[in-house]
């Protein structure tokens, strides 16, 4: 399961969501101020400095760039 911690009007959340939907990944979006507070964000992602912050199977992977790299690694593993 992919968890995306974002904030309203975040273009990289939109990219992460599009990637998940295009590839059929199950994901959950959590919005700052609605689903979590800044304090809760830092409990889960102590070094976070940007949005979105993404977890895959309860492992913090980083932001959109890291999600894309994770996806590419999965594709490579499937195709080999």
What's the total number of domains in the chain? Answer: 1
60 and 52 in contact (C-beta within 8 Å)? no
Supply the mean pLDDT for the chain.
92
Res 49 pLDDT > 60:
yes
Predicted confidence (pLDDT) at residue 21 exceeds the cutoff of 80: yes
What does the alpha-carbon distance between residue 51 and residue 37 come to, in Å, rounded to a whole number? 14
CATH number at residue 65: 3.40.30.10
Q: Is residue 25 a contact partner of residue 54, using CB atoms and an 8 Å limit?
A: no
Res 80 pLDDT > 60: no
**pLDDT above 60: residue 78:** no
Q: Residue 23 sits in which domain range? A: 2-79
Least confident of 12-16, 49-53, 73-77: 73-77
């Amino acid at each position: 399961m992919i968890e995306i911690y974002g904030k309203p009007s975040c273009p990289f959340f939109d990219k992460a969501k599009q990637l998940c939907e295009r590839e059929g990944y199950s994901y959950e979006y959590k919005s700052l101020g609605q689903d979590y507070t800044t304090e809760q964000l830092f409990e889960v992602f102590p070094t976070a400095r940007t949005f979105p912050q993404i977890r895959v199977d309860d492992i913090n992977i980083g932001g959109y760039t890291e999600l894309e790299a994770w996806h590419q690694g999965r594709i490579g593993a499937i195709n080999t």
